[in-house]
Amino acid sequence: MFWFLLFLAVVAVWLLVLALLAKKLWGKTKALTRELGAAQSKLEAAQRSGPDRAGESARSRA
């Protein structure tokens, strides 16, 4: 009986450690996803306005 309770305690500790690691990883993943979305929208905005500005400056120099 003692060994069974010890085994259950070890399993409970491992599950707790895994849950804490998963929570930490989930937070990092959410932050990275948010950062990636912001960078993607910034890139799309730059691509939309980039060629127009480059074309205008090339025409004004000519």
Q: Which two tokens stand for residue 59?
A: 């025409």
Distance linking the first and last C-alpha atoms of the chain: 90
What is the reported pLDDT for 3?
93
Q: How many domains does the chain have?
A: 1
Q: What share of the chain is helix, strand, coil (3-state, %, to 5)?
A: 95, 0, 5
Which stretches of 1-62 are assigned E, i.e. beta strand? none
pLDDT digits (tens, 9 = 90+) for 15-56: 999 999 999 999 999 999 999 999 999 999 899 987 655 555
Grade residue 57 by pLDDT with cuts at 50, 70 and 90: low
Enter the tokens of residue 12. 């409970």
Residue 39 to residue 34: CA distance in whole angstroms = 9
Query: What is the domain extent for residue 40?
Result: 2-60
